[in-house]
Protein backbone atom coordinates (compact mmCIF):
# COMPACT_ATOMS: atom_id res chain seq x y z
CA UNK A 1 0.00 0.00 0.00
CA UNK A 2 1.34 3.41 -0.90
CA UNK A 3 1.56 5.96 1.91
CA UNK A 4 0.98 9.63 1.29
CA UNK A 5 1.17 12.44 3.82
CA UNK A 6 -1.88 14.65 4.18
CA UNK A 7 -0.43 18.09 4.80
CA UNK A 8 0.95 21.21 3.12
CA UNK A 9 3.54 21.73 5.85
CA UNK A 10 7.03 21.50 4.37
CA UNK A 11 8.76 20.46 7.61
CA UNK A 12 6.34 17.57 8.08
CA UNK A 13 6.77 16.51 4.46
CA UNK A 14 10.57 16.61 4.75
CA UNK A 15 10.53 14.60 7.99
CA UNK A 16 8.17 11.98 6.52
CA UNK A 17 10.25 11.81 3.31
CA UNK A 18 13.37 11.20 5.41
CA UNK A 19 11.76 8.00 6.74
CA UNK A 20 12.09 6.58 3.24
CA UNK A 21 8.53 5.32 3.01
CA UNK A 22 6.71 8.33 1.59
CA UNK A 23 5.06 7.80 -1.81
CA UNK A 24 3.14 11.05 -2.26
CA UNK A 25 1.38 14.05 -0.75
CA UNK A 26 -2.22 15.22 -0.56
CA UNK A 27 -3.13 18.83 0.03
CA UNK A 28 -6.45 20.65 0.02
CA UNK A 29 -7.45 24.32 0.31
CA UNK A 30 -7.84 24.05 4.11
CA UNK A 31 -4.39 22.51 4.58
CA UNK A 32 -2.80 25.17 2.33
CA UNK A 33 -4.68 27.97 4.13
CA UNK A 34 -3.24 26.72 7.43
CA UNK A 35 0.26 27.44 6.08
CA UNK A 36 -0.51 31.13 5.45
CA UNK A 37 1.73 31.21 2.38
CA UNK A 38 1.20 31.46 -1.37
CA UNK A 39 -0.31 28.14 -2.51
CA UNK A 40 1.44 27.94 -5.89
CA UNK A 41 4.86 28.52 -4.30
CA UNK A 42 4.17 25.93 -1.62
CA UNK A 43 3.05 23.36 -4.18
CA UNK A 44 6.25 23.97 -6.17
CA UNK A 45 8.29 23.46 -2.98
CA UNK A 46 6.43 20.24 -2.14
CA UNK A 47 6.95 18.87 -5.65
CA UNK A 48 10.68 19.44 -5.32
CA UNK A 49 10.80 17.37 -2.10
CA UNK A 50 8.51 14.53 -3.19
CA UNK A 51 8.64 13.10 -6.69
CA UNK A 52 5.52 10.92 -6.23
CA UNK A 53 1.98 12.21 -6.82
CA UNK A 54 1.16 15.55 -5.15
CA UNK A 55 -2.56 16.35 -5.09
CA UNK A 56 -3.57 19.98 -5.57
CA UNK A 57 -7.25 20.92 -5.43
CA UNK A 58 -9.22 23.33 -7.59
CA UNK A 59 -11.48 25.87 -5.91
CA UNK A 60 -13.72 26.51 -8.93
CA UNK A 61 -17.05 24.69 -8.90
CA UNK A 62 -18.22 25.03 -12.54
CA UNK A 63 -17.02 22.81 -15.35
CA UNK A 64 -15.06 25.28 -17.52
CA UNK A 65 -13.34 27.12 -14.65
CA UNK A 66 -12.49 23.77 -13.03
CA UNK A 67 -10.84 22.62 -16.25
CA UNK A 68 -8.87 25.89 -16.61
CA UNK A 69 -7.76 25.75 -13.00
CA UNK A 70 -6.86 22.08 -13.33
CA UNK A 71 -4.75 22.80 -16.42
CA UNK A 72 -2.94 25.59 -14.54
CA UNK A 73 -2.29 23.37 -11.49
CA UNK A 74 -0.96 20.62 -13.77
CA UNK A 75 1.63 23.10 -15.11
CA UNK A 76 3.22 23.49 -11.65
CA UNK A 77 5.10 20.19 -11.89
CA UNK A 78 4.78 16.89 -13.72
CA UNK A 79 3.87 15.05 -10.50
CA UNK A 80 0.83 17.22 -9.71
CA UNK A 81 -2.44 15.32 -9.51
CA UNK A 82 -5.46 17.61 -9.88
CA UNK A 83 -8.04 17.19 -7.14
CA UNK A 84 -11.71 17.72 -8.01
CA UNK A 85 -14.74 17.37 -5.73
CA UNK A 86 -17.24 14.54 -6.21
CA UNK A 87 -19.99 16.73 -7.66
CA UNK A 88 -21.52 16.65 -11.16
CA UNK A 89 -19.30 19.39 -12.55
CA UNK A 90 -16.30 17.70 -10.94
CA UNK A 91 -17.19 14.50 -12.75
CA UNK A 92 -17.41 16.34 -16.06
CA UNK A 93 -14.09 18.05 -15.44
CA UNK A 94 -12.59 14.68 -14.47
CA UNK A 95 -13.55 13.26 -17.85
CA UNK A 96 -12.29 16.34 -19.74
CA UNK A 97 -8.95 16.46 -17.95
CA UNK A 98 -8.41 12.69 -17.86
CA UNK A 99 -8.92 12.63 -21.63
CA UNK A 100 -6.01 15.11 -21.79
CA UNK A 101 -3.85 12.69 -19.76
CA UNK A 102 -4.01 14.80 -16.60
CA UNK A 103 -4.21 12.63 -13.50
CA UNK A 104 -7.26 13.33 -11.34
CA UNK A 105 -7.96 12.68 -7.66
CA UNK A 106 -11.72 12.78 -7.05
CA UNK A 107 -12.09 14.03 -3.48
CA UNK A 108 -14.82 14.40 -0.86
CA UNK A 109 -16.14 10.92 -1.67
CA UNK A 110 -18.70 9.70 0.87
CA UNK A 111 -20.54 6.92 -0.93
CA UNK A 112 -19.59 4.13 -3.34
CA UNK A 113 -21.58 5.39 -6.32
CA UNK A 114 -19.46 8.55 -6.41
CA UNK A 115 -16.47 6.24 -6.66
CA UNK A 116 -18.05 4.19 -9.46
CA UNK A 117 -18.75 7.38 -11.46
CA UNK A 118 -15.22 8.71 -10.81
CA UNK A 119 -13.77 5.48 -12.21
CA UNK A 120 -16.01 5.70 -15.28
CA UNK A 121 -14.80 9.28 -15.82
CA UNK A 122 -11.18 8.10 -15.80
CA UNK A 123 -10.03 9.24 -12.35
CA UNK A 124 -6.53 8.21 -11.29
CA UNK A 125 -7.47 8.29 -7.58
CA UNK A 126 -10.69 8.23 -5.56
CA UNK A 127 -10.58 9.64 -2.03
CA UNK A 128 -13.18 8.30 0.42
CA UNK A 129 -13.03 10.45 3.59
CA UNK A 130 -13.31 7.78 6.26
CA UNK A 131 -12.72 9.88 9.38
CA UNK A 132 -15.42 12.39 8.52
CA UNK A 133 -17.92 9.54 8.10
CA UNK A 134 -16.91 8.11 11.49
CA UNK A 135 -17.27 11.62 12.97
CA UNK A 136 -20.99 11.61 12.19
CA UNK A 137 -21.59 8.09 13.48
CA UNK A 138 -21.09 6.16 10.22
CA UNK A 139 -18.57 3.51 9.26
CA UNK A 140 -16.04 5.12 6.94
CA UNK A 141 -14.08 1.96 6.28
CA UNK A 142 -17.20 0.15 5.09
CA UNK A 143 -17.24 2.57 2.14
CA UNK A 144 -13.67 1.64 1.28
CA UNK A 145 -14.62 -2.04 1.31
CA UNK A 146 -17.60 -1.40 -0.97
CA UNK A 147 -15.51 0.61 -3.42
CA UNK A 148 -12.87 -2.15 -3.46
CA UNK A 149 -15.50 -4.73 -4.35
CA UNK A 150 -17.08 -2.57 -7.07
CA UNK A 151 -13.72 -1.78 -8.66
CA UNK A 152 -12.69 -5.43 -8.54
CA UNK A 153 -16.03 -6.57 -9.99
CA UNK A 154 -15.44 -4.54 -13.15
CA UNK A 155 -11.67 -4.23 -13.25
CA UNK A 156 -11.57 -0.44 -12.83
CA UNK A 157 -7.99 0.77 -12.54
CA UNK A 158 -8.77 3.89 -10.45
CA UNK A 159 -6.75 3.66 -7.22
CA UNK A 160 -8.51 3.85 -3.87
CA UNK A 161 -6.88 6.47 -1.66
CA UNK A 162 -8.21 6.14 1.89
CA UNK A 163 -8.29 9.71 3.23
CA UNK A 164 -9.32 11.63 6.34
CA UNK A 165 -7.42 9.11 8.43
CA UNK A 166 -7.54 9.77 12.17
CA UNK A 167 -5.52 6.93 13.72
CA UNK A 168 -3.25 3.96 12.89
CA UNK A 169 -6.19 1.51 12.97
CA UNK A 170 -7.58 3.24 9.88
CA UNK A 171 -4.26 2.39 8.17
CA UNK A 172 -4.44 -1.24 9.28
CA UNK A 173 -7.99 -1.57 8.00
CA UNK A 174 -7.12 0.17 4.73
CA UNK A 175 -4.26 -2.27 4.15
CA UNK A 176 -6.43 -5.29 5.01
CA UNK A 177 -9.15 -4.13 2.62
CA UNK A 178 -6.76 -3.63 -0.26
CA UNK A 179 -6.84 0.16 -0.43
CA UNK A 180 -4.17 1.09 -2.98
CA UNK A 181 -3.06 4.19 -1.08
CA UNK A 182 -3.68 5.77 2.33
CA UNK A 183 -3.00 9.39 3.13
CA UNK A 184 -2.35 10.20 6.77
CA UNK A 185 -1.54 13.30 8.78
CA UNK A 186 2.03 13.52 10.10
CA UNK A 187 0.80 12.74 13.64
CA UNK A 188 -0.46 9.32 12.48
CA UNK A 189 2.69 8.61 10.43
CA UNK A 190 4.70 9.26 13.61
CA UNK A 191 2.57 6.73 15.51
CA UNK A 192 2.94 3.78 13.17
CA UNK A 193 6.28 2.44 14.38
CA UNK A 194 5.49 2.93 18.06
CA UNK A 195 4.68 0.06 20.41
CA UNK A 196 5.41 0.00 24.15
CA UNK A 197 6.55 -3.64 23.97
CA UNK A 198 9.10 -2.69 21.28
CA UNK A 199 10.53 -0.01 23.60
CA UNK A 200 10.58 -2.31 26.64
CA UNK A 201 12.08 -5.16 24.62
CA UNK A 202 14.80 -2.96 23.12
CA UNK A 203 15.78 -1.57 26.53
CA UNK A 204 16.13 -5.12 27.86
CA UNK A 205 18.25 -6.24 24.87
CA UNK A 206 20.57 -3.24 25.29
CA UNK A 207 20.83 -3.69 29.07
CA UNK A 208 21.64 -7.41 28.69
CA UNK A 209 24.27 -6.66 26.04
CA UNK A 210 25.87 -4.01 28.26
CA UNK A 211 25.88 -6.41 31.24
CA UNK A 212 27.65 -9.04 29.14
CA UNK A 213 30.29 -6.57 27.91
CA UNK A 214 30.96 -5.44 31.47
CA UNK A 215 31.43 -9.04 32.61
CA UNK A 216 33.94 -9.92 29.89
CA UNK A 217 37.67 -9.45 30.60
CA UNK A 218 39.55 -7.07 28.24
CA UNK A 219 36.35 -5.52 26.90
CA UNK A 220 35.75 -1.98 28.02
CA UNK A 221 32.21 -1.39 29.25
CA UNK A 222 29.89 0.46 26.93
CA UNK A 223 29.36 4.07 27.80
Catalytic residues, which ones? Answer: 83
Residue 96 or residue 183: which is nearer to ligand G3P going by CB?
A: 183
Choice between 132 and 167, CB closer to ligand G3P? 132
Nearest to ligand G3P of 105, 145 (CB atom):
105
Closer residue to ligand G3P (CB): 98 or 183: 183
Per CB under 6 A, 156 contacts ligand G3P: no
Q: Could you tell me if 84 and 127 are in contact, meaning their C-beta atoms sit under 8 angstroms apart? A: no
Q: Which residues pair with 113 in a beta bridge?
A: none
163 binds ligand G3P (CB under 6 A): yes
Task: Check binding of 6 to ligand G3P (CB under 6 A).
Answer: yes
Within 10 Å of residue 100's Cβ, how many Cβ atoms? 10
The CB-of-220 to ligand G3P minimum distance in angstroms stands at 52
Tell me: does residue 57 bind ligand G3P (CB under 6 A): no
Count the neighbouring beta carbons within 10 Å of the beta carbon of residue 149. 12
Q: How far, CA to CA in Å, does 14 sit from each of 20, 22, 26, 85, 162?
A: 10, 10, 14, 27, 22
Which helix (DSSP H) or strand (DSSP E) does residue 171 occupy?
Answer: helix 168-177
Considering the complex, what minimum distance in angstroms separates the CB of residue 135 from ligand G3P?
8
The DSSP secondary structure of 22-82, one letter per residue, reads: --EEE--HHHHHHHTS-HHHHHHHHHHH--S-EEEE----SHHHHHHHHHHHHHH-TTEEE
The mark string for 7-46 relative to ligand G3P (x by CB under 6 A, - otherwise) is -------------------x-x--x---------------
Where do contacts with ligand G3P occur on this chain (CB under 6 A)? 6, 26, 28, 31, 129, 131-132, 163-164, 183
Amino acid sequence: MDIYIDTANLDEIQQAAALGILDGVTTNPSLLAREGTDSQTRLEEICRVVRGPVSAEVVATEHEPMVSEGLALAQIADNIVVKLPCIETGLQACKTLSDQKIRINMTLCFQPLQALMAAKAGAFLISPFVGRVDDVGGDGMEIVQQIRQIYDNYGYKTKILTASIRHPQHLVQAALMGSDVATAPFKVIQQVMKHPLTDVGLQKFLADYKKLQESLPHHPALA
